[in-house]
Amino acid sequence: MAKPICLIDASKCIGCRGCQVACKQWNQNPAEETTFTGSYENPPALSSTTWMRIMFREQETESGSVEWLMAKQGCMHCAEASCMMACPAGAIYRTEYDTVMVDELKCIGCNYCVAACPFHVIGFDRLANKARKCTFCLDRLENGLKPACANACPTGSITFGDSRELISKARVRVEALQAAGKVNARMYGLDEVGGTGMLYVLADKPEKYGFPADPQVPIQTRFWNTIYAPLRVFVVIAVALGLWSNRAQSKRVEENKAKSK
* Nearest CA-CA partner of 112 in 239, 249, 15: 239
258 has pLDDT over 60:
no
- DSSP states of 35-70: ---SSS-SSSS--SS--EEEEEEEEE-TTS-EEEEE
Rounded distance between C-alpha atoms, residue 221 and residue 50, angstroms: 25
Tell me phi and psi for residue 69, to 5 degrees: -110, 120
Among 2-6, 82-86, 256-260, the range scoring the smallest mean pLDDT is 256-260
Average pLDDT over residues 52-80: 92
62 has pLDDT over 70:
yes
pLDDT at 245: 60
Q: Is the bond preceding residue 43 a cis peptide, omega within 30 degrees?
A: yes
151 has pLDDT over 70:
yes
pLDDT at 253: 44
pLDDT at 226: 76
132 has pLDDT over 70:
yes
* β-sheet with 4-9: strand ranges across: 158-162, 4-9, 198-202, 186-188
pLDDT digits (tens, 9 = 90+) for 199-246: 999 999 999 999 999 999 999 998 877 766 665 555 555 555 665 565
Average pLDDT over residues 23-44: 92
The answer for 23, left when phi > 0, alpha when psi is -120 to 50, beta otherwise, is: alpha
* 168: Cβ contacts below 8 Å, ≥ 6 apart: none
